[in-house]
């Protein structure tokens, strides 16, 4: 087991990429378990199969990046030639558009939330839940 605490702080992009490749090799090919603490959510998303999110020292959610996004229902953006919509159900929107257009949807793009967007939504939700009568 390897414990890493903010290992890439101060790394330039090339050094960060090389470090990420090393961690991926150690975890994948060597089967090493890696516990990584980081504030770099893109790094967590790239390197982690499971992520625990801490708020005020407590685990508020745990799972894969996709599971965390679903748990907090951070919205996805569905964009096409004639419009766009934010939704927690992008597959349904894409299917409705497919039926409306009778086939391929011109300019269809689906942008799912990043781990950082999911994290920020989770933090906001946690703070709102902790607020009672406008006082925390």
Alpha-helical segments (H) within 35-109: 41-47, 65-72, 90-101
pLDDT at 118: 78
Q: pLDDT (tens digit, 9 = 90+) per residue, 73-126?
A: 778 999 999 999 999 889 999 999 999 999 999 999 999 888 788 788 778 877
Do 51 and 35 meet the contact criterion of CB atoms below 8 Å apart?
no
The token pair that represents 133 in the structure block: 């009568």
Q: 68 or 52, which is more confident?
A: 52
Residues 16 and 83: their CA atoms lie apart, in Å, by 38
Identify which of 58-62, 83-87, 132-136 has the greatest average pLDDT: 83-87
What own/partner pairs with CB < 8 Å and gap ≥ 24 does 63-67 have? 65/115, 65/118
Higher per-residue pLDDT: 11 or 135: 11
Which pLDDT value is given to residue 136?
47
51-55 vs 34-37, strand pairing mode = unpaired
Report residue 1's pLDDT band, with 50, 70 and 90 as the boundaries: very high
SS3 at position 119: helix
Residue pLDDT, tens place only, 39-52: 888 898 889 989 99
Q: Give me the residue spans of the domains in the chain.
A: 1-48
């Amino acid at each position: 087991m390897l414990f890493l605490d903010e290992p890439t702080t101060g790394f330039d992009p090339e050094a960060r990429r090389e470090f990420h490749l090393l961690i991926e090799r150690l975890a994948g090919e060597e089967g090493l378990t890696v516990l990584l603490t980081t504030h770099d959510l893109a790094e967590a998303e790239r390197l982690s199969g499971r992520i625990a999110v801490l708020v005020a020292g407590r685990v508020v959610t745990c799972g894969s990046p996709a599971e965390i996004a679903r748990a907090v229902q951070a919205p996805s953006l569905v964009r096409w030639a004639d419009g766009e919509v934010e939704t927690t159900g992008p597959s349904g929107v894409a299917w409705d558009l497919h039926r409306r257009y009778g086939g391929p949807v011109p300019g269809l793009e689906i942008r799912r939330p990043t781990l950082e967007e999911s994290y920020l939504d989770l933090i906001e939700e946690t703070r709102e839940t902790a607020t009672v009568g406008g006082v925390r």
